[in-house]
Structure 1
Amino acid sequence: MSAAAAAAPANGEAPAKPKSKKLLFIIIGVVVLALVGAGAAFFLLKKSHSEDEEDGTEVTAEDEGHAAPLRDPKTPPTFLPLDSMVVNLADPGGNRFAQLGITLQLADAKTGEDMKTYMPSIRNGILILVSQRTAEQMLRADGKQALTQDIMAEISDVMGYDYEHPDAEPEPSPKGKKKKKKAAPNPIEGVLFSSFIVQ
């Protein structure tokens, strides 16, 4: 018996077969579950995408996290300096004023040439925007940022470009969902202050 008992542990193939079959079934089960999960995820994503298209919702490049560029990033922008402006501010007493030097950053030279035609209207709009602010508003960093956005909106309005103010709430569609419209890129890339004096 001792020879038979010694022969049984030496022959390890008999107990190993059930373990290998069990391991094989576990691996097959995991692979099948992974395939079923991937198929379900694909089906749900495709269904969600088709529902968005049925709602009429358009996703623009801005909604995906980046704005659609109007110019080639390798070409430098065009800068259009405006004449210096001196504006009375809305402080009580009327003895505070601001002197501003503004340069517009544009996508191309053609936009700059087009703007020169509308320059009296653009300057008038900027002067009115600045004259409605107090010295305190002008000196705060958030006040300067708000002025920049308002100037971009004013120039876009004069020139007929689409501009969505960052603080503006989107209008809901009749179904209650926010409908996104695809707009042409605005060639006004920025408003830069070359001088900013408040006295």
Structure 2
Amino acid sequence: MAEEAAPPKKKSGKLKWIILILLLLLLAGGGGGGAYWWFVMRPAAQGAEGGSEPAKAEGKADAKGGEAPARNAKVAKLPTFPVNLADPTGRRYLKLTMEVEVGSDATVKELEGQSAKVRDAVILLLSSKSYADLAPIESKLQLKNEVADRLNQILGGPKVLRVYITEMVIQ
């Protein structure tokens, strides 16, 4: 018997798969880099250039409907608020820490001077909420607006620009 020549083996296409995977990783990396630039670097670049015209004018509303931040905005840290929630079982509590963006150092000092009123207003607001009231993200955004409104009532004008939730634990 004569040995038959084996037909040549076809390439398995491993090289094509490797190239395809590398291209996909390159596209994903480029997309991730583009997203990073768009969401992180781009706003910083706009801030350095002065931003858009509506944001330059103090007192104009920004795209989210809030006040545009003042150029010299300051951040004041509020104390941590541990409160019982208004749940029927009475077993849930909330631990909330916030910082507020205000227009000036004078407003920071005013907040510190009104600390008892601030604590009272925020504790009353938070203790009126239940877990169901605070669970959805929309409720958290509404809570931030309510806190800003209460603080502005205490300060006697629209001095609180934004409220930032820095810690929120519900048990």
CA gap of 1:139–1:78, structure 2 versus 1, over 3 A, is same
Q: 2:83 is paired with a residue of what secondary structure?
A: strand
1:141 aligns with 2:113: no
Question: How far did residue 126 of structure 1 move?
Answer: 0.5
Q: 2:90 is paired with a residue of what secondary structure?
A: coil
TM-score, with normalisation over the residues of structure 1?
A: 0.51
Question: How far did residue 105 of structure 1 move?
Answer: 0.9
Q: Determine the C-alpha separation between the residues in 1 that align with 2:147 and 2:67.
A: 21
Question: How far did residue 79 of structure 1 move?
Answer: 1.0
1:92 aligns with 2:88: yes
Amino acid of the structure 2 residue aligned with 1:188: V
Q: Determine the C-alpha separation between the residues in 1 that align with 2:129 and 2:66.
A: 30
1:197 aligns with 2:164: no
1:121 aligns with 2:124: no
Question: How far did residue 187 of structure 1 move?
Answer: 2.3
Question: How far did residue 117 of structure 1 move?
Answer: 1.0
Q: 2:91 is paired with a residue of what secondary structure?
A: coil
Q: Determine the C-alpha separation between the residues in 2 that align with 1:120 and 1:196.
A: 21
The RMSD of aligned alpha carbons is: 2.3
Q: Determine the C-alpha separation between the residues in 2 that align with 1:191 and 1:67.
A: 11
How many matched pairs?
112
Question: How far did residue 93 of structure 1 move?
Answer: 1.6
Q: 2:167 is paired with a residue of what secondary structure?
A: strand
Q: Determine the C-alpha separation between the residues in 2 that align with 1:131 and 1:143.
A: 14
Q: Aligned ranges for residues 10-159 of structure 1 at < 5 Å?
A: 62=60, 71=70, 73=71, 75=72, 77-159=73-155
| Larger RCO (alpha carbons 8 Å, 6+ apart) | 1
Q: Determine the C-alpha separation between the residues in 1 that align with 2:67 and 2:123.
A: 31
For structure 1, the 5+ residue unaligned runs are: 1-60, 162-185
Question: How far did residue 69 of structure 1 move?
Answer: 5.5
Q: Determine the C-alpha separation between the residues in 2 that align with 1:118 and 1:111.
A: 10
Q: Map Cα deviations across residues 34-83 of structure 1 (whole Å, 9 max, x no partner).
A: xxxxxxxxxxxxxxxxxxxxxxxxxxx658x8877673x3x4x2111111
TM-score, with normalisation over the residues of structure 2?
A: 0.59
Q: Kindly indicate whether the alpha-carbon contact (under 8 Å) linking 1:70 and 1:187 is maintained by their aligned counterparts in 2.
A: no
Amino acid of the structure 2 residue aligned with 1:191: V
Q: Determine the C-alpha separation between the residues in 1 that align with 2:74 and 2:161.
A: 10
* Match in the other structure for 1:187: 159
CA gap of 1:115–1:136, structure 2 versus 1, over 3 A, is same
Larger Rg: 1
CA gap of 1:133–1:108, structure 2 versus 1, over 3 A, is same
